[in-house]
Structure 1
Amino acid sequence: MEWFGTGDYDIARAVLQRGVAAIFLVAFASALAQFPALLGDTGLLPVRRFTAVVPFRRAPSLFHWRYSDRMLRLVAWAGILISAAIVLGLPQAGPAWLPMLAFLLLFAGYLSIVNVGQTFYSFGWESLLVEAGFIVAFLGSDDVPTPVPVLLFLRWLVFRLEFGAGMIKIRGGREWRDLTALYYHHETQPMPNPVSWFAHHLPRWVHRGEVLGNHVVQLGMPFLLFAPQPVASAAAGVIVLSQLWLVITGNFAWLNWITIVLAFAAIDDASLHWVAGLVLPGLAEPAAAGPGETPPWFVILVLAVTLGLLVLSYWPARNLLSRRQLMNASFNPYHLVNAYGAFGTVTKERYEVVVEGTDSPSPRGSTDWREYRFRGKPGDPARLPGQFAPYHLRLDWLMWFLALGSRDTHWFEVFLVRLLQGDRATLRLLAGNPFPEHPPTSVRARVFLYRFSTRAERRSSRDWWVRTEVGVLVPPVSLPPQGDG
């Protein structure tokens, strides 16, 4: 069975299993904190209404059988506990079927959440986590050699992720082809972080180098993942370094972190020991305990699953070659073997929706209105953007799309109603409630043009942002008086 299993990727298997499990833990924790307010029984887009019109075959989910906020919390807590056990390495110490069962439970639980999550779960990294969780399930335990077919398919996943993102950029906005995309990206990305202001003010030749480096990484390195060692490890290392730069300069939920974890499928133990020796000279390689023989049932199962995944690969492979390439698309309701890609175009100006409320019966000036602060969105120009990734602030991300002119605005209309009602669950999604004593009598939404302050403006005003009002999205609205229906 030497062709099937290898002892050269034991560290990679540990990183893949524990890393993907750690991201599942973050994802389930995010669902526990945000799902009821966004999609629960009194949420902005209630699950019950969705499952009433979308059949199980189109969106397989446990919640088609029954939904309640309590059941959602039970699923989320189960996911957190199973993920934590894998991070600690407990299932991996047992037979090969034990980590498989643990990951398949995570897969089923999170698929159930994603498939009823509607617009709040429509991001590419949701499908990426679901797919990665399913594939990693078949890496086995420490009792068996690391299965080579699974490692190769994980490399194919990284290939689709990186090469798909590279092609969507080349086929997308001109700014990627003329190397100017990073003149704007750090400022206009969905959720800047504390380093974004400084990255934005780097020299323009550095920004052009960022774009050129991105093209080299995303269009060249994925092919080298299938090269012999140590070339494959070097290519994966370059991908990891590029993702770390994105981690440092932005908030993209767990997209960058899961890409880093998955890249380890191409890094063998010898390369990792070599790097460790450079960092800590004289560090001895640990003695290998040596796994046992691979049971026949495990070989048959892994090969059958791999064959099925290869069949499903037809659609995303065709998509990569298509001039009308789809970005972040799933070709089956189980989110297996998807198409990926991000930022085919880069917005050159940043618009933000600012939501305000008032308890004045007849507000006249701006002083009568108080602003609702979001956790991760620019609001007060003097506030430094925060670091939230890999945690996913779903409401804040939807606010970014809203400012871009998203047509899906029903959730926002309900959101304004919840503010007028003083709904506690909704208010907990925000950074603070400007009306702690009682709900506002009216709310409104204005649109502002934001830009990073220059160095001179920053020294003078101490502000990170400069904003200018450009219009009104929603004029002042109030709840109808009680008894008016």
Structure 2
Amino acid sequence: MQASYTVKYTKGLFLRCLCIVYLFAFVSFYIQAPGLYGDNGVLPARSLLENSIHKTLSAKIHYQPTLIWLAPYLGLDVNYALDVLSLLGSFLAFTGFVSQKLCTLPLFAGLWSLYFSLYQVGQVFVASNYDDLLLEIGFIALLVAPILPGKRRGYKSSQNDAIRFWLLRWVLFRYLVTSGIIKFISGCPKWWSLTALNYHFQSMPLPSSLSWYAHHLPNWFLKLTSVYTNVVEIILPFLFFIPMRNVRLTGFIFQIFLQICIVLTGNFSFANLLIVVLTLSLLDDKGIQSKKVSEEPSYVANIVNILIHGALFYAVVTIFSLKIEGSVVESKIAFTKDNFEVAARLGISFALYYGLSTLALTILSTLANILFSNNSWLNKIWSFIKTIMFSLLVLMIFFASTVPLTSLHSSTNTTVHPTVRATYNRLHKIRLINDYLLFKQMSGVDGRSEIILEGSDSLDGPWVEYNFLYKPGNINHSLPFVAPYTPRLDWQMYWAAQSTYDKQPWLLSLTHRLLLGTPEVLSLLDRNRSPFLKKPPKFIRGVLYKYKYTSWNQGSQQSWWSRVRQNEYFPVFSKDSPVLTEYLKARNLIPTTAKVVPNPIWKKILDKIRYVASHLEATLLLWSVFTAGCAVISTSSKSK
């Protein structure tokens, strides 16, 4: 098995696709940086960095590890440093996208360092799992990418490729299993009754244009879809490590289908694209090259694959009580919470031993291939030593990554050795290993909560709403497809609605900037439908509404939402309100003048780039850059 495992082409495809994700991430950050992190933004990065009590550069970097500390030495202030980092990251990602031979370790080291630097000043707007996942995969890319540029049509095979791709599968395994199992461990009644998807498309952070239609699918179909999701996330990942190409390829197809469905029915930034990139680790060169697939047909492998998935299908029919009744498929969970409690405890323990054993077999197989290769003994010894050192690093990462898995259950959480937990804490601090607890409880069962900001020049009204670009607001407007663009303000408004305003300093800072009429912040909202574009209101208040999708018949009448006012989310504020200003001053969120004067040449160049970018809608700019990359690839391939 191991001897036929080659990923020369697959490795290049993985690295190139990761560059695409990085490109989307950096361009998204660049577009929103002035409104979110500029001196006049919602959460100024300069204010965060000024809170440091350290004086030396090394101490500052230890306090907040980011390249932005170098801005004064380059003749930049924090605002322009953010632009330089995000533009440089976009350029590096673009070069890796258009030229596979440039997808090397130095390039990915630069990408990771730049994104981690921006992440460090992202504050609450980078609290979502997709940023953590990008940094974790980006770190593993350092282990996958070659040190020197490769050939145009792929990289040279390495003895350690099987170990590298095992590590990628382990990340994919952890992400999916954690996402699936936490829904049942949380005890959410909607997940347990398989009715979560009856509310999911209405209550997700940023619905898409098709979410309304998905919400109105028949209940039996939504329950069946929930069964499929649970199986793909919890059960199928255990097949990722079976050393049979057909089994892995089948798992790849199931995962891709799920991710496509999620992309079509919701806006989850570049998270699903990252999962697709990870699923490439389930392939090898013979799995993506049709000529080689036809060379070695394996009827035994096909039969085994059918038997494995046939047994799995039978198990799914049993534990979810699947029955065909007329023209529908009925489903319900056939196990109790006590049954699942035992299964979860045993399953987590099994996953740890299973992962360790498959990793050990992969390492041993790699070492055996080295010893029985046709290379000279000197090369064998050198390769053997390198593989041992690399395996020790991977083992350290593996043991540290078991901490998030064991924390899912109280009985397994107590079994973690203190040294392993300490290693995890150190690696998690720089986001090399993370936990992914997604949507444990299904919220919005009685309708999604939405904060509507209203402005007025008089306390007696009339009060006029602010319109956001991507979140629900006007009940007559459908929502656009925005992913893989990341509208961080709209996304965070969803989570703020689940809490109270006094726990959301950024929201009150947003209110203050709107009262000042700050152009950088207004650019994050819908300027075409803004009632206060020329002159800001004297007062702003927050009102909480419950939104629900309209019925199928009402949707055809151009009304997508119905809403009911609940209560006041935060009271009326003016820009000079003592309560508001004191609250923001205590958190260093009042706009101040920068002390560093940027270099005039830097300033002129960066201002021109910003001027051009600001005249394109965010998603249009994102896809324009991507399309330009595709055009470069097409042109270069034709010329060769």
TM-score class normalised by the smaller sequence: 0.7 to 0.9
Contact 1:330/1:337, CA 8 A, preserved across alignment: no
User: 2:25 is matched with which residue: 22, 27, 52?
Assistant: 27
The verdict on how the C-alpha distance between 1:323 and 1:164 changes in structure 2, with shifts beyond 3 A counting, is farther
Q: Structure 1 CA distance, aligned partners of 2:491 and 2:550?
A: 22
In 2 relative to 1, CA 124–6 (structure 1 residues): closer, same or farther, beyond 3 Å? farther
CA distance in structure 2 between the partners assigned to 1:197 and 1:301 by the alignment: 52
* Residues in 1 aligned to 2:391 and 2:13: alpha-carbon distance in whole angstroms: 22
User: What residue in structure 1 maps to residue 505 of structure 2?
Assistant: 410
Q: Which residue of 2 aligns with 1:108?
A: 113
Q: Distance in 1 between matches of 2:411 and 2:456?
A: 50
Answering whether residue 185 of structure 2 is matched by residue 171 of structure 1, we say yes
Which letter does structure 2 place at the counterpart of 1:351?
S
Aligned partner of 1:8 in structure 2 is 6
Quote the residue 1:286 is aligned against.
Answer: none
Residue equivalent to 2:156: 144
Residues 186, 192 of structure 1: 8 Å contact kept: yes
Instruction: Name the larger-Rg structure.
Output: 2
Q: 1:18 to 1:183 in 2, by over 3 A?
A: same
Alpha-carbon distance in 2 for matches of 1:157, 1:430: 36
**What's the offset of the Cα at 1:311?**
4.3
1:372 equivalent in structure 2: 466
In 2 relative to 1, CA 78–323 (structure 1 residues): closer, same or farther, beyond 3 Å? farther
Deviations 1:115-152 (Å, cap 9, x if unpaired)?
Answer: 22110111111110011111112222444215221111
Q: State the partner residue of 1:346.
A: 442
1:319 maps to 2:407 = yes
Q: Distance in 2 between matches of 1:467 and 1:423?
A: 29
Counterpart position of 1:384? 478
Unaligned runs of 5+ in 1: 93-97, 279-291
What SS is found at the alignment partner of 1:374? coil
Give the alignment of 1:201-216 within 5 angstroms. Answer: 201-216=216-231
Q: Please tell me the residue identity of whatever aligns with 1:76.
A: S
Matched, 1:225 2:237: no
* 1:237 to 1:11, Cα distance in 2 relative to 1, 3 A: farther
Contact persistence 2:242–2:248 (CA under 8 A): yes
* 1:449 counterpart residue number: 546
Q: 2:195 aligns with which of 170, 180, 184?
A: 180
Q: How far 1:248 moved relative to its partner?
A: 0.8
Contact kept in structure 2, 1:127 and 1:330, CA below 8 Å = no
Q: Verify the 8 A CA contact 1:38 1:44 in the aligned structure 2.
A: yes
**Which of the residues 60, 68, 77 maps onto 2:65?**
60
Tell me if structure 1 keeps the 8 A contact 2:515–2:539: yes
Give the SS at the match of 1:468.
Answer: strand
CA distance in 1 between counterparts of 2:533 and 2:46 reads 31
Q: CA deviation at 1:13?
A: 1.5
- Spell out the pairing of 1:244-255 with structure 2 (5 A cutoff): 244-255=260-271
Distance 2:63 2:123 in 1: 13
What TM-score comes out, normalization by structure 1 length?
A: 0.86
Task: After TM superposition, give the deviation of residue 315 of structure 1 in Å.
Answer: 2.2
**2:205: which partner in 1?**
190
Task: Work out whether residues 453 and 465 of structure 2, in 8 Å CA contact, stay in contact via their aligned partners in 1.
Answer: yes
For residues 276 and 393 of structure 1, what CA distance do their matches in structure 2 show? 43
Q: Deviations for 1:90-124, whole angstroms, at most 9, x for unmatched residues? A: 444xxxxx611100111111111112211011111
Q: What is the distance in 1 between the residues matched to 2:273 and 2:204?
A: 17
Gaps of at least 5 residues in structure 2 are 53-59, 72-76, 295-374, 414-424, 583-640
Number of residue pairs aligned between Structure 1 and Structure 2: 456
Tell me the residue number matched to 2:522: 427
Do 1:420 and 1:440's aligned partners in 2 also have CA atoms closer than 8 Å?
yes
Which digits, 9 at most, give the CA deviation of each residue in 1:265-320, with x for residues without a partner?
01123233459999xxxxxxxxxxxxx99995976775464344234324234334
Q: CA deviation at 1:333?
A: 1.6
User: What displacement does 1:240 show?
Assistant: 1.4
Structure 2 residue identity aligned to 1:161 = Y
- Contact kept, 8 Å, 1:233 with 1:268, in 2: the verdict is no
Which residue in the other structure is 1:462 paired with? 558
How far apart are the structure 1 equivalents of 2:412 and 2:453?
A: 37
Give the letter aligned to residue 78 of structure 1.
Answer: L
Asked if the contact 1:103–1:136 (Cα under 8 Å) also holds between the matched residues in 2, the reply is yes
- Shift of the 113–324 alpha-carbon distance from structure 1 to 2, 3 Å rule, reads farther
Using the aligned pairs only, state the percent identity.
Answer: 28
Instruction: Return 244-253 or 135-144, whichever deviates more.
Output: 135-144
Question: Do the aligned partners of 1:214 and 1:242 also contact (CA within 8 Å) in 2?
Answer: yes
Instruction: Report SS of the residue matched to 1:351.
Output: strand
2:259 alignment counterpart: 243
Q: Is this contact kept in 1: 2:468–2:490, CA < 8 A?
A: yes
Between the aligned partners of 1:237 and 1:373, the Cα distance in structure 2 is: 40
State the alpha-carbon separation in 1 of the partners of residues 70 and 253 from structure 2. Answer: 44
- TM-fit CA distance, 1:38: 1.2
Deviations 1:37-71 (A, max 9, x none): 21222222222332344664464222345561111
- In 2, distance between residues paired with 1:30 and 1:411? 19
* 1:194-215 deviations in Å (ceiling 9; x for gaps): 0000000000001111111111
Note if contact 1:192-1:249 (Cα within 8 Å) is conserved in structure 2: yes
The change in CA–CA distance for 1:71 and 1:91 in structure 2 (over 3 A counts) is farther
Q: Report the equivalent of 1:333.
A: 429
Inter-CA distance 28–467: structure 2 relative to 1 (3 Å threshold): same
Amino acid at match of 1:476: V
Superposed CA RMSD in Å reads 2.9
Change (3 A) 1:221 1:275: farther
Partner AA of 1:130 in structure 2? L
Tell which deviates more after alignment, 413-422 or 131-140: 131-140
TM-score, normalised to structure 2's length?
Answer: 0.66
1:472 and 2:568 are equivalent in the alignment: yes
Once the two structures are TM-superposed, the CA of residue 35 in structure 1 deviates from its matched residue by 2.2
The corresponding residue for 1:82 is 92
Paired residue secondary structure (2:206)? coil
Measure how far apart 1:476 and its partner are: 2.7
Structure 1 pair 51/307, CA: closer, same or farther in 2 (3 Å)? farther
The one-character-per-residue Cα deviations of 1:430-480 (angstroms, maximum 9, x if unpaired) are 122322221112212111110000012223x42000111111112332223
Structure 1 residues 22 and 6, CA gap change in structure 2 (3 angstroms): farther
Matched, 1:400 2:494: yes
